[in-house]
Amino acid sequence: MAAPKEEATVLVAFTLDFETGGLKCQTAACTQISIHATRLDTFERLDSYMSYIQPYDQKEVKGVGAKRKVLKSKHDVPESNPMEYDAKALTYSAITMDMLYGMGKNIEVVAAEVIEFIKRNTPEKTPKNMKPFLIGQNVGFDVGFLQQMMAYAGLTGELSKLLRGQADFYGNFQPLALDTISLGQLAMCHIPNMNSYKLEIMCERLGIELDDAHDADADVSATTNVVSVLTQRLRSVGGTIPGESLAISKTEKSRKHFKI
């Protein structure tokens, strides 16, 4: 009697993008986050999450930034230490402080919702070596802000249980992440005059529509689609694969304000 066939584990990846109040994750605020869950065999989008984040103050995290002033008596008032919200960064993403106050959620709430989103979209009984990983355009930038968010919410340990990754030399969890810039360079560096791998340029080269660049949700859709197209090419090296195609997702615009 033949042994029963075991069902293949469905691999899932989470594409993420942050809009921020600056470039340094140690001092700049998260202003918007978007994450899409994608199954990698078909590139079908399983679920998506997007939120704006209310303005918040810096928190003291071990090994990061300067320590706060120690209060000498109960009459001392704690110093407010707001995160950075650079005007140029806000203009770049077309996000205003009024939007953050009016539409944003507390960063701890957002962090908890992100954890729940990852749990909900990870198949049950996923082996350790098949746990989800992250995808992003210049993904190291986004990983830094994800680490800030989880550290501020006290959820770094929870995140490390859900994503593939490992502890670095300093003992900090580093999630496994695929950078579309590196992937694009591998796939397209042979193209004449291909000297930039910005998301907009790769989308144009690959025939992918990019609506509302620098909105986190639109950027996540485009980033996932870049990986989908390049994966399709990788799987069909030497010819086409009859009857197989990967999904290209389309995102409804999440905002009604656009840069001209």
Cα–Cα distances (Å) from 151 to 60, 111, 113, 146, 225, in that order, read 10, 9, 14, 8, 30
Distance (Å, rounded) from C-alpha 136 to C-alpha 227? 10
Span 33-55, pLDDT tens digits: 999 999 999 999 999 999 999 99
Provide the pLDDT for residue 247: 75
Span 107-142, pLDDT tens digits: 999 999 999 999 999 999 899 999 999 999 999 999
Can you give the pTM of this predicted structure? 0.85
β-pair type (30-39, 133-136): unpaired
Does 69 have pLDDT greater than 60? no
Confidence of residue 260 (pLDDT cuts 50, 70, 90): very low
- Among 251, 162, 238, which residue's Cα sits nearest to residue 212? 251
Q: What are the residue boundaries of the structural domains of the chain, listed by start?
A: 12-56+81-235
Neighbouring CB atoms inside 10 A of 25's CB total 22
Which two three-digit tokens encode residue 225?
Answer: 């689609």
Which two three-digit tokens encode residue 29?
Answer: 């605020």
Provide the pLDDT for residue 239: 58
Q: Is residue 133 a contact partner of residue 163, using CB atoms and an 8 Å limit?
A: yes
Strand segments (E) across 146-258: 165-167, 173-175, 177-179
Distance (Å, rounded) from C-alpha 140 to C-alpha 149? 14
Confidence of residue 211 (pLDDT cuts 50, 70, 90): confident
Fold of 12-56+81-235: Nucleotidyltransferase; domain 5 (3.30.420)
Does 22 have pLDDT greater than 80? yes
Neighbouring CB atoms inside 10 A of 252's CB total 8
Please give the angle made by the CA atoms of 244, 248 and 249, to the nearest 5 degrees.
140
Span 144-174, pLDDT tens digits: 999 999 999 999 999 999 999 999 999 999 9
Distance (Å, rounded) from C-alpha 173 to C-alpha 167? 4
Neighbouring CB atoms inside 10 A of 85's CB total 18
**Mean per-residue pLDDT of the chain:** 88
Which two three-digit tokens encode residue 104?
Answer: 């944003």
Residue with tokens 């691999």: 11
Neighbouring CB atoms inside 10 A of 220's CB total 29
Q: Residue 20 burial (CB < 10 Å; 0-12/13-18/19+)?
A: buried
241 half-sphere exposure, CB direction, 13 A CA radius: 10
How far, in whole angstroms, is CA 162 from its chain's centroid?
A: 15
Does 59 have pLDDT greater than 80? yes
Name 24's Cβ contacts closer than 8 Å, sequence gap at least 6. 84
Provide the pLDDT for residue 215: 77
Q: Is residue 219 a contact partner of residue 199, using CB atoms and an 8 Å limit?
A: yes
Neighbouring CB atoms inside 10 A of 221's CB total 27
